[in-house]
Amino acid sequence: MDPSISEQLKRIPQVQKLLESPAAAALIETYSQQRVVETIRASLDTLRAEILSGDASFSVEALFERVTQALEASHRPSLRRVINATGVAIHTNLGRSPLAEEAIEAIRVTAWGYSNLEFDLDTGKRGSRHSHVEDLLCSLTGAEAAVTVNNNAAAVMLAVNTLALGSELIVSRGELVEIGGSFRIPDVISRSGGTLVEVGSTNRTRIADYETAITEDTRLFLKVHPSNFRMVGFTEETSREELVALGKQRGIPVVEDVGSGALVDLTRYGLPSEPSVQEVLNSGVDVVTFSGDKLLGGPQAGILVGKHGPIEKMKKNPLMRALRMGKLSLAALEGTLRLYLHEDRLAERLPLLRMLTTDHDALQDRAQAFRDSAASLDRVTAEVLDDEGFSGGGSLPGQAMPTKVVAVAVQGLSPNALLDALRASDPPVIARIFEDRVRLDLRTVRDSEVLDILAALKGIVS
Ligand SMILES: *Cc1c(COP(=O)(O)O)cnc(C)c1O
């Protein structure tokens, strides 16, 4: 063995000795004796191997630096905050809607102590967890009754299982959609115990198609909003009014899964139009289902609103126990829904709506300010560009919104390498590449996070 290598190896102290140093004491205080010992051992093993291959030399400082980094990395939560610089406000992979302060506070209060989750404060008897948001949902949508579950997929399951278990339900072939890899309407229907009867063709379904498919066994018409795609050209969709009229005539309820679930008229905010839940209910549909964390801007939830009869049946379905919402989400949902009571202030209080409605001038100003700071860094070039953004989450499908982005480049790094380096920053910055340039859309970035992105860039070039 090379004498200098054996010299290096000999300099490595005993683990016990290392543990007595002040640096170790501070780590033990934070991470526990056992984890520090394990990490020192593991780091020494790697270091020995490196010394043997002639790649490293020993120093106590470098060893503790290594141990500290390993402990910090293993201590970091798996579920972490990231900066969404994609401009996609309802980004399913990034956790969909950020919550309003009021919703976050409701979670905090509910999580801290006990609550009247299922306790009636007037009578002192057992209460219902559904009671906390039902009146709110009814007054916001005009529905007779409402119930909530874990997410919209669960809402569709509950509706089918309650109203069409062991019987037939009719769905248009144009609406047998897949929403995200794991949610296909036909699969959900069969797992919910209903027998799917498909009618019409992919691009055209007429009311007569529904009518001829009715048998003694038909219990439900299900309409599904084809959230994440659009059909153009030679198409025909049966209107919900026609379907409701046929349902009334034949005694068959109509359930519509609207997916995104806007509670306000989005055109008021200059956004593309999406049928609001009220509008769908007004046309006579018996039950409407939608998500809590898409256009509503709240926590993950599935919301069912509609006529008293079917909703009460759903509350009594034994599956309800498996599909029900947790108390923290319920608190957040109530906090979010309360904001809708004061619609004039909604766009300023609800982060999702604030992001979606950020106007062009404001986006331009933010992009310009960021460009100036970024471009002042060594090796960084930045340019403000016009681009198209999407709301995401299967809402407002195909509706591109004009937006402003900052295209960033770092000398000596490919766009992919820059994208990876941004993602490896702390907090990770998630951007996208289009036309061979890394683009940051500040629509979905909070003011305080702009500084984080600049710090990430600084770290990358230093
Ligand atoms: C998003 C969506 C779902 C699934 O909702 P989750 O809340 O993600 O479970 C179901 N149906 C439609 C039409 C959707 O857009």
Q: According to the model, what pLDDT value does residue 381 have?
A: 97
User: Tokens at residue 442, please?
Assistant: 């500040």
**What does residue 352 show for φ and ψ, rounded to 5 degrees?**
-60, -45
The pTM (predicted TM-score) of the whole model is 0.92
Antiparallel, parallel or unpaired: β 254-259 and 287-291: parallel
Q: Are 462 and 380 in contact (CB under 8 A)?
A: no
Q: According to the model, what pLDDT value does residue 59 have?
A: 87
Write 175-180 long-range contacts (CB < 8 A, 24+): 175/205, 175/222, 175/223, 175/224, 175/225, 175/226, 176/224, 177/224, 177/226, 177/227, 177/228, 177/229, 179/227, 179/228, 179/259, 179/394, 180/92, 180/394
**Gap from CA of 160 to ligand 1 centroid (Å):** 15
Q: According to the model, what pLDDT value does residue 242 have?
A: 95
Per DSSP, the three-state class of 258 is strand
Q: According to the model, what pLDDT value does residue 228 have?
A: 63
**What does residue 453 show for φ and ψ, rounded to 5 degrees?**
-65, -40
Residue to mutate, 94, 148, 152, 333, ligand 1, most ligand atoms under 8 Å from C-beta: 152
- Residue 395 CB less than 6 A away from ligand 1: no
- Residue 257 CB less than 6 A away from ligand 1: yes
d(CA 178, CA 229): 10
- Residue 227 CB less than 6 A away from ligand 1: yes
Q: According to the model, what pLDDT value does residue 118 have?
A: 97
Q: Whose CA is nearest to atom 5 of ligand 1?
A: 152
How far CA 63 is from CA of 60, 132, 144, in Å, comes to 5, 55, 67
Q: Whose CA is nearest to atom 15 of ligand 1?
A: 259
Question: Which residue in this structure is represented by tokens 């401009």?
Answer: 87
Quick count: other Cβ atoms within 10 Å of Cβ 257? 29
Output DSSP code: residue 183. -
360 CB-near residues (< 8 Å, 6+ apart):
402, 404
d(CA 462, CA 457): 9
Q: According to the model, what pLDDT value does residue 271 have?
A: 86
The b/e string for 229-254 (b: 16+ C-beta within 10 A; e otherwise) is eeeeeeeebbebebbbebbeeeebbb
Q: According to the model, what pLDDT value does residue 229 have?
A: 65
User: Tokens at residue 333, please?
Assistant: 């949902």
Q: Are 199 and 208 in contact (CB under 8 A)?
A: no
**Gap from CA of 259 to ligand 1 centroid (Å):** 5
> Over its length of 462 residues, how does the chain's per-residue pLDDT go in tens digits?
677 888 888 888 899 999 999 999 999 999 999 999 999 999 999 999 999 888 788 888 989 999 999 999 999 999 999 999 999 999 999 999 999 999 999 999 999 999 999 999 999 999 999 999 999 999 999 999 999 999 999 999 999 999 999 999 999 999 988 876 678 899 999 999 999 999 998 888 999 999 999 999 999 999 998 766 677 777 888 889 999 999 999 999 999 999 988 999 988 888 888 889 999 999 999 999 999 999 999 999 999 999 999 999 999 999 999 999 999 999 999 999 999 999 999 999 999 999 999 989 999 999 999 999 999 999 999 999 999 888 877 777 667 788 999 999 999 999 999 999 999 999 999 999 999 999 999 999 999 999 999 999 999 999
Residue to mutate, 150, 179, 296, ligand 1, most ligand atoms under 8 Å from C-beta: 179
Domains and CATH numbers, the chain: 3-75 (no CATH), 83-92+355-461 (3.90.1150.110), 101-349 (3.40.640.10)
Q: Which residues pair with 402 in a beta bridge?
A: 388
What Rg, from alpha-carbon coordinates, does the chain have?
28
Q: Which atom of ligand 1 is nearest to the CA of 301?
A: 7
Strands annotated E in 205-296: 218-224, 254-259, 287-291
